[in-house]
Copies of this chain bind each other. A is one copy, B any other.
């Protein structure tokens, strides 16, 4: 048996599950778990099912789902959970998120394959290469357009399905961001929508907040405004300096980002307007 994930979305209408479920049964697929969410605000209908299926059942299943999906105007995907998502990680100089992702991947806690690391700096090369991963230095020297073109080429060459901005301190051009829509996750080092932009922990320190946090979100042309995937916070006091907030924040960032990456790799995340549905 293989483990599959069937996920689909549709304009909300009755009968979707009753049309899909029998197909699965007739092909010997057992629904091991499922979550269905109908959004009354947007009228969107979202479903993720975890199936155990007789080996080699995948294509047969896909071929019978297709016509029904058409009829119901479902947009759907069928994923083999054994196939690890190909992930390209982008960093600048800070390695805490990168190191965390690599470590969790190495000890089998993240179902991803890291196909490479991109950076506008050389800082992380030694670490990355020691872990046996390809390091691609794409400096901003020839300008953003050229660098983003090289970045995009690399995404295509590596067949990356997910791009993770793990403290990549470059603002993507609208055009580049648009090309990555839905497959690029950024960790914002603050609890959005608070403290957008630069030095958020220093902003937080100046405001005297009692909790600081981090936010993982999909990248969109609208900086810091993409759909939020996950957030977390940690308690701080008046005695915590801005630099200590940065240090505390790094741990939250790594933790939040790795959760968002895991959920994406497990095909749990749907975009729903400017929000996410995580099933």
Task: Mark A90-116 against chain B: 1 for CB-CB distance below 8 A, else 0.
Answer: 000001100100011001010000000
A208, A232, A276: residue with the most chain B Cβ atoms closer than 10 Å: A208
- Among the listed stretches A19-27, A63-71, A133-141, which one makes contact with chain B, having 4 or more residues with CB under 8 Å of it? A19-27
User: Do A278 and B18 touch across chains, with their CB atoms under 8 A apart?
Assistant: no
Q: A108 to chain B: closest CB distance in Å?
A: 8
Roughly how many angstroms separate A35 CA and B191 CA in the complex, as a whole number?
A: 30
- Of residues 1 to 40 in A, which have CB atoms within 8 Å of B's CB atoms? 12-19, 21-26, 28-40
Bound together, the chains give a CA A213 to CA B212 distance in angstroms of 12
28 A-B pairs (CB sep. < 8 Å): A13-B30, A14-B28, A14-B30, A14-B31, A15-B25, A17-B17, A17-B21, A17-B24, A18-B21, A18-B24, A18-B25, A21-B22, A22-B22, A31-B38, A33-B37, A39-B238, A96-B103, A107-B250, A191-B191, A191-B194, A193-B195, A193-B209, A207-B274, A207-B275, A208-B228, A210-B229, A211-B231, A251-B258
State which of B31, B104, B228, B235 has its C-beta within 8 Å of the C-beta of A235: B235
Asked whether, in the complex, the Cβ of B194 is within 8 Å of the Cβ of A210, the reply is no
Contact residue range for chain A? 35 or more
The minimal Cβ–Cβ distance linking A134 to chain B, given in whole angstroms, is: 18
- From B18, B99, B233, A99 is in contact (CB under 8 Å) with B99
A95–B104 CA distance with the chains assembled, in angstroms = 10
Q: How distant is A247 from chain B, measured CB to nearest CB, in Å? A: 4
Query: Which residue of chain B lies nearest to A207 when distances are taken between CB atoms in the complex?
Result: B193
Say yes or no: A33-B33 contact (C-beta < 8 A), given A231-B210, A235-B235, A255-B251: no
Distance between Cα atoms of A235 and B18 in the complex (Å): 32
> Does A230 interact with chain B (Cβ within 8 Å)?
yes
Question: B17 near A34 (CB under 8 angstroms)?
Answer: yes
> Taking CB as reference atom, which chain B residue is nearest A234?
B255
Distance (whole angstroms) from the CB of A45 to the closest CB of chain B:
9
**Quick one: closest B residue to A209, CB to CB?**
B228
| A89, chain B: closest CB distance, angstroms | 16
Considering the complex, give the chain B residue whose CB is closest to the CB of A252: B255
Complex: A31 Cα to B18 Cα, angstroms: 9
Q: Is A227 an interface residue (CB 8 A)?
A: yes
A272 within 8 A of B: yes
Q: How far is the CA of A96 from the CA of B17 in the complex (A)?
A: 41
Given contacts A21-B18, A213-B211, contact A272 B107 (CB under 8 A): no
